[in-house]
Structure 1
Amino acid sequence: MNIVAREHHETAADWLARLESPECTPAERAAFEDWLAASAQHVEAFLEAERLHAMAASLRADPALRAAVPVPVMRPRRPVRPASRRWPLALAASLVLALGVLGWMRLQPGPVATAEYATAVGETRQVVLEDGTRMTLDTGTVVATAFGRDTREVELVQGRVRFEVGEDPARPFRVQAAASTIRDIGTTFQVTRRGDDVDVGLVEGEVDVSRNDGAASVRLAPGERVRVDAQGRFSRVQALDLPMAEGWPRGELVFRDRRLEDLVLEMNRYSAKPLRLGDPSLAGLSVSGVFRANAQGELVAALQEGWGLGAEDEGDAIVLRAAPR
């Protein structure tokens, strides 16, 4: 039993003793009823105190135990007024009232705590929510949360987020992004929203990805991903690029035999001044490497040295071209 529970039980025992006393006043009974109605734990503690009191009374009535206990010397005591027997009825009524109120409270939706989180271009951020869920927000991301007594709802407005979901079986964890809803089943997963296209990748555990209208859904296994377009149409389930998925939360862009066009698009999400391909034939150039997400200059230098590209700052963009031969 923890400290708080022990305090509840001690308080309940004190109330029971006071209510048994002929000197208990109406004000004290009213205070007891307020205490009882304040918490379900108070009700449970008082019922347990009554149960223990009844057990003790039955033991006192046991003939064998009575014979084994020496008869105490009785001393005169001052007379007291007879105890009122109306208190059990009041107690029963207060218990019914408290349980009814608590039951009603459990049926109400309760307050919902809302919050918004955002990152600027080039920024990543980690947020730990009240349930222990850890969110890693990628660059240019906007997220809204709404946590209630029975629900945990997150909306991805734009960007990319990695979720490491805290355990709370009583409150399902759901992420809404455009036409998609992702329901967590104890997982680490990532959701990317660009416009109204959504990409969901599962690192560990399980998630169900469904359309908002519930007309279609797919369950992902670890290492899988799926895309959902603005009309709620699912792509086929594909393999998740785990090195890349594990890299960006650390600030790294991990590419393995990927198109240069994809690397440029990814790096541009972190930079105020974009990279642009001056020669369309460069789009399919195969690139591998680990690049710091917020270090555009390092990437340009690597492309110049390793792939022989040229780069020119044209004011509004850095243009990549094949180096002249």
Structure 2
Amino acid sequence: MEMTINKQQVDERTAQAADFAAMLYSGVMTAEEEQALASWLEQSAESRAEYESMLDVWHSTGALSSRLDELGEEVSEKRPPVKPRQRWLPVALAASVLFGVAVAWQGWFVGESSVPESQLAIYQTSTGENRAVTLGDGSLVILNTNTRLLVDYSENQRRVTLNWGEAYFEVTADPNRPFLVDTEGKAVTVLGTRFNVQKAGFALKVAVVEGLVAVHRAENKMTPTTEAVDIKPGQPIPVEGTAGKYRLGAGVMATFTGNMGSSSARITSEEISQSDNFPDWRFGRIRFMNRTLQEVVKELNRYTTKKILIEDSRVMDVKVSGVFKLNAIDAALKRFEQALPLRVVEYPDRIVITGLD
């Protein structure tokens, strides 16, 4: 009896995750539906994991790759065609999400291109733009808004320099050629497969979805056997006497500031399943859980050329929870007026938020 109940609970959770994802990708998700989604995600780590897992599967389908080719026709026609990644997906599930995926990414993804196996190349996105690049070894990189990436592949090493911005990586294993992400001072050596890196001012933010990565000073070299400090959420993280070498496993997100290996270093960590900072931008959306309006506006301004301004100090700390579609930020902000004591006024070049008189 217990096994039947557990299986039923899992099936119901999977079905609910599919329903919410379909609502999100339909492009017509209401404020009530967004609130219901936020509440459901807060119920349990299992619900959030199921939802993220399903979105990740949808992201990897051939249907999405085909849609990206259409959206990026102008870019990709000058480059060799990219072979989409093939992964198993039940036929019924695939059929149910094709339309929603196409709608969700329209106007957000620029296109997908490829890099030969040995080449120096630069890729850059503007504000509000998102781009997928397949590297010569089959690794996938997705550049977020306002990001610049230098790819330097050689016979002995795969080096990517993140000059600014944010990128998500799915790295193909190659024990003979290490994969290194350099952020000009701090570096990430890939010991696993899927992770996200953001260079935010003087801070480096790393989130590991699958596998293992090492974070260290750029001048150091790391291998799977190199001694390093394992970062685990909820446990103290030493900063001195570590030689500036750390490891992160799947499900861990960490922020690094200061000079790694010295007393000036600051490192914080949390579980991805408990965070609203997980890199949802890959799916054309961003979510917040009980964040201040000031924090929300700062993050949203990364994705829009029409800047959002708070012109009333009284509302800076108003708490906000919700899911924003990155191709409809203006509309989402207008809904603030329905749920919060705010007034949102849109001008041709900016959006102004104030409190109610």
- TM class, shorter-length: 0.5 to 0.7
SS in 2 for 1:116: strand
Q: Is the 8 A contact 2:258 2:266 kept in 1?
A: no
CA offset at residue 149 of structure 1? 0.9
* Matched residue, 2:269: 237
The amino acid of 1:120's aligned partner reads S
The amino acid of 2:212's aligned partner reads E
* Matched residue, 1:310: 343
SS in 1 for 2:159: strand
For 2:276 and 2:309, locate their aligned partners in 1 and report how far apart those are by CA, in whole Å: 25
CA offset at residue 184 of structure 1? 0.6
Q: 1:179 to 1:228 in 2, by over 3 A?
A: farther
For 2:197 and 2:254, locate their aligned partners in 1 and report how far apart those are by CA, in whole Å: 10
1:216 aligns with 2:244: yes
CA offset at residue 236 of structure 1? 2.9
* Matched residue, 2:281: 248
1:156 aligns with 2:188: no
CA offset at residue 229 of structure 1? 2.2
Q: Is the 8 A contact 1:151 1:173 kept in 2?
A: yes
Counterpart of 2:300 (choices 267, 270, 288) is 267
Equivalences, count: 214
For 2:173 and 2:186, locate their aligned partners in 1 and report how far apart those are by CA, in whole Å: 22
1:115 aligns with 2:143: no
CA offset at residue 263 of structure 1? 1.4
For 2:327 and 2:298, locate their aligned partners in 1 and report how far apart those are by CA, in whole Å: 13
* Matched residue, 2:315: 282
Residue by residue over 1:136-185, the C-alpha shift from the partner in whole angstroms, topping out at 9 and shown as x without a partner, is 11000000011111110000011110001112121111101132110111
* Structure 2: gaps (5+ residues): 1-116, 221-242
1:295 aligns with 2:328: yes
For 1:296 and 1:191, locate their aligned partners in 2 and report how far apart those are by CA, in whole Å: 23
* Matched residue, 1:258: 291
* Matched residue, 1:173: 179
1:202 aligns with 2:230: no
For 2:144 and 2:127, locate their aligned partners in 1 and report how far apart those are by CA, in whole Å: 9
Q: CA RMSD in A?
A: 2.0
CA offset at residue 231 of structure 1? 3.2
Q: Is the 8 A contact 1:207 1:219 kept in 2?
A: yes
SS in 1 for 2:344: strand
Identity fraction in percent: 30
SS in 2 for 1:237: strand
For 1:258 and 1:290, locate their aligned partners in 2 and report how far apart those are by CA, in whole Å: 12
The amino acid of 1:174's aligned partner reads L
Higher normalized contact order (CA 8 Å, seq sep 6+, divided by chain length): 2
* Matched residue, 1:193: 199
Larger radius of gyration: 1
* Structure 1: gaps (5+ residues): 1-110
The amino acid of 1:231's aligned partner reads N
For 1:315 and 1:226, locate their aligned partners in 2 and report how far apart those are by CA, in whole Å: 38
For 2:250 and 2:344, locate their aligned partners in 1 and report how far apart those are by CA, in whole Å: 40
For 2:205 and 2:279, locate their aligned partners in 1 and report how far apart those are by CA, in whole Å: 15
SS in 1 for 2:335: helix
For 2:332 and 2:150, locate their aligned partners in 1 and report how far apart those are by CA, in whole Å: 33
